[in-house]
Amino acid sequence: MDEAQAEYLVTRYADLLIRIGRTWLEDLDDAKDICQIVLIKLLEHPRAFPDKGQERAWVIRIAVNECKNWKKSAWFRRRAPLDEGLALTVENPEPEENGLLAQVMALPAKYRQVIFLRYYEGYEVREIAALLGRSPALVSTHLQRGKDKLQIMLGGTEYAR
């Protein structure tokens, strides 16, 4: 493995991979695991692309597939939160409840994923559809419904467009 290539991939894609993992899996530790898995795959099977946009789309596609595999795994489906197994309770710091990202993360997965890719990563509907393996019409529907839910969560009304 080339150390310069590894450093390039980590510098360029680690934050993106963690954000995608967090969006799909709703857990920072799982997102870090996904980031590590994807970076190792990219190092073990390097590919050349004509431009950085295609490379970025490929990295996102790998991350999405790994998140899907992670959620299908027996380990993921059968695990329980740590605090269920402990007799003592630990105070967790409260996340910023009014932050927009916190509200986006509270949306159902199908809306959260498309909103994240559209507004946080800047992808167009057709690109999101290709990345997620969905039709552009379904992505548009999920975007609209997600925005409607987000508007209500943020105190707006359903009809204030």
Six-digit token pair at 80? 């329980």
Question: Per residue in 77-102, pLDDT tens?
Answer: 777 665 554 444 444 434 455 578 78
Quick check: pTM over 0.75? no
CB 19 within 8 A of CB 63: no
**Measured between alpha carbons, how far is residue 157 from residues 124, 147, 150, 161 in Å?**
26, 12, 10, 9
In terms of pLDDT, which residue wins out, 156 or 68?
A: 68
Q: What sections of the chain are H helices per DSSP?
A: 3-25, 28-44, 52-72, 74-78, 82-85, 100-105, 109-115, 125-132, 136-153
Question: Per residue in 103-157, pLDDT tens?
Answer: 888 889 899 989 988 988 888 999 899 888 899 999 999 999 999 998 888 887 6
Exposure b/e, 70-107, CB count within 10 A at least 16 = b = beeeeeeeeeeeeeeeeeeeeeeeeeeeeeeeebbeeb
